[in-house]
């Protein structure tokens, strides 16, 4: 392997190393955040224990912890809480074995109460004899005191319940976030599919017309090629976005209409007018094209036809009115696949923010669309 090839491979590996480094940093950042949240939770619990112990008998606000609480109660509560979160809940609760889970929680609390009482009897009572004789004299020296063991067992239950509720809320939030991500992916996929339903017959007809013009050596051929190139560029590079500038969409329609005007020539009486404050407005791409395509598909007969397009922006409302002639032997323009697809796109992209009226008269078909941009 030559020096240049080795350098090339080393340079190609640099982006991979950067991505791996950033991914590792993201994982560590999530871990640090989780650790910080746990520390805040337990700090709040320790603060609560200090306050409640201070005013229990004196009715005064003070911050102090008795050695048994600091050495036994708080560590045992932390141990039992994590045992519930990371052992019992995954093993039974998440698998919907609720009865087994409830029995396991009761057994865990009783085991914690017994262990706390044992440690108190074996270590804390002798310690109090040396360091707190007053409390030692008041202390019941027997190990087996069922009521006290039950009380000690229940001391940890409120914190366990609070931690469990927080975990369940986190899980519900994560599940909702995943469902939203799935819905967003489905939404994007469906919108992309509907965008792809722009009728390909236009391009085939345009290419046929372009071929005929080139055979005749027509001066119109270069102009049609440029307009077609602009259309393809827009569809490939701009129409993939969720929103595009309305000015770009209007330019796309003008190119489209220019090509159709060349194709139909004298057979087409076409009018396209737009007005209002269109600068800076954004719109879903290709949402207007379907109504124009529908007008050409159903409005131009074997002899001739006419199409009138009026686009107006007032404030945040866009109004598009497309009228086209109805040839005697023409197809109905109100029930095609293109219009059903665009109505579905409008439902997805502008839910509750649009109105669409399709009217079929004797000699005219009208599509009246209003969108809140």
Token reading at 262: 């060349």
Same domain, 214 and 307: yes
Alpha helical stretches, state H, 236-321: 246-264, 289-299
Long-range contact pairs involving 107-113 (C-beta distance under 8 Å, separation at least 24) = 108/80, 108/83, 108/84, 109/80, 109/153, 109/154, 109/156, 109/157, 109/160, 110/149, 110/153, 112/76, 112/79, 112/80, 112/152, 112/153, 112/156, 113/149, 113/150, 113/151, 113/152, 113/153, 113/154, 113/155
Q: Which among 185, 218, 247 is the end of a domain? A: 185
Count of residues making up the chain:
373
Q: Determine the structural domain holding residue 275 and report its residue range.
A: 196-372
Predicted local distance difference test score (pLDDT) of residue 148: 77
Predicted local distance difference test score (pLDDT) of residue 28: 63
Same domain, 172 and 201: no
Predicted local distance difference test score (pLDDT) of residue 340: 79
Q: Which among 161, 185, 209 is the end of a domain? A: 185
pTM: 0.53
Residue 34 maps to a domain? yes
Predicted local distance difference test score (pLDDT) of residue 318: 94
Predicted local distance difference test score (pLDDT) of residue 196: 59
Residue 217 maps to a domain? yes
CA 365 to CA 299: how far, in whole Å? Answer: 8
Q: Which of helix, strand or coil describes residue 37?
A: helix
What is the full per-residue pLDDT of the chain (373 aa) written as tens digits? Answer: 454 555 444 454 545 555 555 556 556 666 778 888 888 988 888 888 777 766 655 566 666 677 777 777 888 888 899 999 899 899 889 888 999 999 999 999 888 888 888 887 777 667 666 666 666 566 666 767 777 778 888 888 888 899 999 999 988 888 888 878 767 766 666 666 656 555 566 677 677 777 777 877 777 778 878 888 888 888 777 777 788 899 989 998 998 888 888 877 778 888 999 999 888 899 988 888 888 888 888 777 677 788 999 999 998 899 999 999 887 665 555 556 677 778 888 888 888 899 999 988 888 899 999 999 8
Overall domain count for the chain:
2
Residue 2 maps to a domain? no
């Amino acid at each position: 392997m030559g020096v240049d090839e080795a350098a090339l491979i080393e340079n190609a590996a640099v982006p991979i190393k950067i991505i791996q480094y950033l991914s590792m940093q993201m994982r560590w950042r999530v871990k640090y955040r989780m650790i910080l949240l746990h520390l805040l939770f337990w700090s709040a619990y320790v603060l609560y224990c200090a306050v409640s112990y201070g005013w229990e008998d004196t009715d005064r606000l003070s911050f102090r912890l008795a050695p048994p609480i600091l050495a036994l109660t708080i560590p045992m509560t932390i141990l039992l809480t994590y045992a519930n979160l990371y052992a019992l809940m995954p093993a039974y609760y998440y698998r919907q074995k609720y009865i087994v889970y409830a029995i396991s929680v009761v057994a865990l609390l009783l085991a914690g109460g017994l262990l706390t009482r044992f440690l108190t009897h074996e270590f804390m009572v002798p310690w109090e004899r040396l360091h707190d004789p007053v409390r030692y004299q008041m202390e019941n020296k027997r190990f087996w005191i069922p009521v006290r063991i039950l009380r000690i067992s229940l001391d940890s239950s409120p914190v366990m319940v609070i931690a469990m509720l927080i975990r369940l809320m986190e899980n519900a939030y994560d599940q909702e976030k995943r469902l939203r991500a799935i819905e967003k992916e489905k939404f994007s996929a469906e919108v992309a599919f509907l965008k792809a339903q722009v009728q390909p017959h236009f391009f085939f007809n345009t290419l046929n017309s372009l071929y005929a013009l080139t055979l005749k050596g027509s001066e119109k051929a270069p102009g049609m090629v440029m307009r077609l190139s602009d259309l393809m560029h827009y569809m490939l590079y701009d129409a993939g976005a969720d929103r595009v500038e309305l000015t770009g969409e209007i330019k796309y329609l003008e190119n489209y209409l220019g090509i159709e005007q060349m194709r139909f020539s004298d057979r087409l009486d076409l009018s396209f007018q737009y007005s209002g404050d269109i600068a800076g407005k954004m719109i879903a791409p290709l949402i207007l094209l379907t109504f124009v395509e529908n007008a050409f598909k159903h409005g131009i007969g074997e002899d001739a036809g006419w199409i009138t397009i009026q686009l107006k922006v007032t404030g945040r409302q866009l109004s598009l009115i497309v009228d086209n002639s109805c040839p005697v032997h023409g197809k109905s323009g109100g029930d095609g696949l293109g219009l059903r697809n665009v109505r579905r796109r409008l439902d997805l992209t502008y839910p509750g923010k649009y109105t669409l009226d399709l009217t079929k008269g004797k000699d005219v078909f009208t599509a009246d669309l209003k969108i809140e941009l």
